[in-house]
Amino acid sequence: MNFDKIDKRARKIMRENDRGLYTVPTKGLYPYQWNWDSAFAAWGFSTYDVRRAWSELETLFTGQWDNGMVPHIVFHKQSIGYFPGPDVWGVPRVPHTSGITQPPIAATMARAVYEADKHYGRIHMELMYGRLVSWHRWFVKYRLHDGMVAITHPWESGRDNAVDWDDAMANVDGSGVGEYTRRDTSHVDPSMRPKKEDYDRYLAMVQFGRDTGWNEVEIARNGPFRVADVGMTLLFLRACRDLLHIAVELDHEVEEIEGWIAMLKRGVENHWNAERGHYDSIDLRTGKFTNSLSSASFLVWFAGIRDDRMLPHLDRIMTEVAFGVPSNDPSDPHFNPLRYWRGPSWGMMNSLIGIGLAETGHIVHAEKLRKNTQKLIAEHGFYEYFSPVDGAPAGGNHFTWTAAIWLTWASPHAKGRF
């Protein structure tokens, strides 16, 4: 295997998707700037172009709302090939944005960029710091329930059609959304995307938020969907720890952030589904666990929690598939190896799970996962996601975050940690 060539190919993909000051996840399917995709892109750029890494994050924050929220999409320019576009979200600001957020990993990736640019990066980090704090404050103010992070739309989780949301989605009425034309299914095979009935409900949730004028209090009170997402809680806890680290470096007050970390640690305990013996999401409208063991539960180590109770699950699942970590437990009746977040393995999730494993001392597991992902990408390409059964590539090709995590973590030449 010529890994130098694959490294070069990864940088070429980053270049192809680079729009100058921001990166698209992949051209065609996703023509705008996505929140956590960009954070991964910044991490990728940090391996060979720190200036470009900073600009990626800085451009993302041009979409930040006055209340601190950083939207899941920033629509920098018009593109006809995407639905739902700015007109559907109805957010009266420029640049146009969506009305919901995404996993807040920007602080984590900003720290990684800063580590790669210690000499000249301080001014960038200082300018970024206040914006990160206000985004985190927004989460704490509007989204924390017993220390767990609530999402108001499955798209906020970054795991759009995961089994975790099935029960909560069943309570959303999608019958009145009217006519619309999806664009995603004209770019990739519809069997690899969410179904029409899911899409109707996604749009019903967007319309609800828009009709409230994106009023978080009203959405919390009466919104059709509210789930405490285990992935969000774990990633937010990690991001708060990284923000704390940055605060110390920059000589800022740390009490507020320490308070958030304490709350989130308690929240992680609330995510423990004792009956099934794993971390799990909770439908806040019914108070019920979602009873799904997805790859998000394995982010526990990345959140800095030393908890070996998840290891046997990981060991079992990794023997059931050729390429982990599948986004859904292969033993689950809803497991589907090619449908998006209902089974496929995602390289970017693996990078976070793998780094978490290594940081908490599970070196053998960490290295195994890294090698497994290395083989997956080297043999099958820089796809959006892959079948865990045989590694068959799926979704979009030439994907930014798959290239980024290759350069930072999966390649034999990568640092493999933060």
Q: Which phi and psi angles does 302 have, rounded to 5°?
A: -65, -30
State the catalytic residue, choosing from 7, 56, 280, 384.
Answer: 384
Residue nearer to ligand GLC on the CB measure, 158 or 388: 158
Q: Is the CB of 186 or the CB of 215 nearer to ligand GLC?
A: 186
25 or 44: CB nearest ligand GLC:
25
The CB-of-81 to ligand GLC minimum distance in angstroms stands at: 14
Pick 99 or 158: Cβ nearer ligand GLC: 158
Shortest reach from residue 111's CB to ligand GLC, in Å? 20
Residues near ligand GLC (CB under 6 A) = 25, 30, 34, 36-37, 158, 160
Specify whether 160 is catalytic.
yes
From the CB of 342, what's the least distance to ligand GLC, in Å? 11
Q: How far is the CB of 36 from ligand GLC (least distance, A)?
A: 6
Residues 6+ apart with CB under 8 A from 55: 21, 22
Residues facing residue 23 across a β-bridge? 18
37, 160, 280, 329: the catalytic one is 160
For ligand GLC, give the closer residue by CB, 187 or 210.
Answer: 187
Q: Is the dihedral of CA 248, 356, 30, 328 positive or negative?
A: negative
**Least distance in angstroms from the C-beta of 131 to ligand GLC:** 20
Residue type, 319: T
SS (H, E, C) the chain: CCHHHHHHHHHHHHHHHECCCCECCECCCECCEEHHHHHHHHHHHCCCCHHHHHHHHHHHHHHCCCCCCCECEEECCCCCCCCCCHHHHCCCCCCEECCCECCCCHHHHHHHHHHHCCCCCHHHHHHHHHHHHHHHHHHHHHHEECCEEEECCHHHHCCCCCHHHHHHHHCCCCCCCCCCCCCHHHHCCHHHCCCHHHHHHHHHHHHHHHHCCCCHHHHHHHCCCCEECHHHHHHHHHHHHHHHHHHHHCCCCCHHHHHHHHHHHHHHHHCEECCCCEECCEECCCCEECCCCEHHHHHHCCCCCCCHHHHHHHHHHHHHCCCCCECECCCCCCCCCCCCCCCCECHHHHHHHHHHHHHCCCHHHHHHHHHHHHHHHHHHCCCCEECCCCCCEECCCCCHHHHHHHHHHHCCCCCCCC
Active-site annotation holds for 216 = no
Q: Report yes or no: 15 and 49 within 8 Å, Cβ to Cβ.
A: no
- In whole angstroms, how close is the CB of 193 to ligand GLC at the nearest point? 10
Name which of 2 and 181 has its Cβ closer to ligand GLC: 181
Give whichever of 158 and 343 is closer to ligand GLC, judged by the CB atom: 158
Cβ 372 to ligand GLC shortest distance, Å: 21
- The catalytic site residues sit at 160, 384
